[in-house]
Structure 1
Amino acid sequence: MTDTHHDNHSDYWKHNGVRVIKGDQLDSNTPQTPGMFRQAAINHARVGAQKIWAGTVAIEPNAKTGVHHHGALESVIFVIRGRARMRWGDRLEYVAEAGPGDFIFVPPYVPHQEINADPDNILECVLVRSDNEAVVVNITDVDPIEEPEAVYWIDPIHRRPE
């Protein structure tokens, strides 16, 4: 007995199956922020992705984004090198830091700001978003209740930075 699906589509998987995107072949034709360099690895234009975007970002020392959210998208940031500081909340009243090997999850609609917490070294991360569209909603009227670095989110897995 033969597998007619496989026989009729032997070249289909060759051209539409697994793709390897080499690290030196990332696409820098992405929205950029001063002090940050983003490159796409996986998106619709490059590989036909329908429901995910993945790439890298290199953030200069002390660089930070403006306050924003990504609409209905979920985002994951994996820190490769350096120290990331995330501020979030209606008034950026919460702060957490992440280092190499740490993951950061940003739920939909959460107002946040990404910061390179190291004044001397570049922060390198991998980004993954739950959709192919680059949704960024800038928020310009945030009035923090206090300097966010002084208010830490502390729970069993997050400790105050030393």
Structure 2
Amino acid sequence: MTHDGDHTHSHDHSASDEPRWKHDGIRVIKGDQLDPNTAQTPGMFRQAAVNHARVGAQKIWAGTVAIEPDAKTGVHHHGALESVIFVIRGKARMRWGDRLEFVADAGPGDFIFVPPYVPHQEINADPDNVLECVLVRSDNEAVVVNITDIEPVEKPENVYWTDPIHRNS
């Protein structure tokens, strides 16, 4: 009895005969090989692990972010994207709402879900220690929409969110 997966005789597979997944399958991105060529914010250091440029991802972006003590963004949202933040080390604070009237803190082992279009501010709530997180977004596009008509409860570092596409003074 033979199974589709059993090969009892030799085949000469040229590259065109082999399934695509043999060469474009699982990827391991080593922690010391993350790409810092991604959108940056003052006081925050992002590195991409999974994106289109690195692995050909079509529908997801994943990476890390290290947030300096007491650093915070301006008010923004990420358009239609969904985001998940996993806190590795430190104390994350998220403010959100039409007037940033809602607040939640998260610590190591906690997940934060940010739905599409939610105005929010990301904050390292610890004045003495770096906040380290893993960040996953539902698309490769670096969508950041700055919201300048909401007065942030906690003022951002010197400038609002900065990336190559959206600049705000």
Aligning the two structures, in what range does the TM-score lie when normalised by the shorter sequence?
Answer: 0.7 to 0.9
Out of 16, 22, 36, the residue aligned to residue 30 of structure 2 is 22
Per-residue deviation at 1:3? 4.8
Q: C-alpha separation between the residues in 1 aligned to 2:137 and 2:151?
A: 27
Query: CA RMSD, aligned part only?
Result: 1.9
Deviation sequence 1:42-70 (CA, Å, 0-9, x none): 00000000000000000000000110000
What corresponds to 2:162 in structure 1?
none
Q: TM-score, normalised by structure 1?
A: 0.84
What corresponds to 2:70 in structure 1?
62
Per-residue deviation at 1:40? 0.2
Q: C-alpha separation between the residues in 2 aligned to 1:28 and 1:14?
A: 28
What corresponds to 1:112 in structure 2?
120
Q: Which runs of 5+ in 1 are unaligned?
A: 149-162
Q: Do residues 9 (structure 1) and 24 (structure 2) align? A: no
* Letter of the structure 2 residue corresponding to residue 9 of structure 1: E
Q: Which runs of 5+ in 2 are unaligned?
A: 8-12, 155-169
Q: Once the two structures are aligned, what percentage of the paired residues are identical?
A: 85
Query: How many residue pairs end up in the alignment?
Result: 144
What corresponds to 1:98 in structure 2?
106
What corresponds to 1:83 in structure 2?
91
Q: C-alpha separation between the residues in 2 aligned to 1:15 and 1:82?
A: 38
- What SS does structure 1 have at the residue aligned with 2:66? strand
What corresponds to 1:160 in structure 2?
none
Per-residue deviation at 1:143? 3.4
What corresponds to 1:42 in structure 2?
50
Bigger Rg over Cα: 2
- What SS does structure 2 have at the residue aligned with 1:37? strand
Per-residue deviation at 1:2? 7.4
More helix as a share of residues: 1
Per-residue deviation at 1:9? 1.6
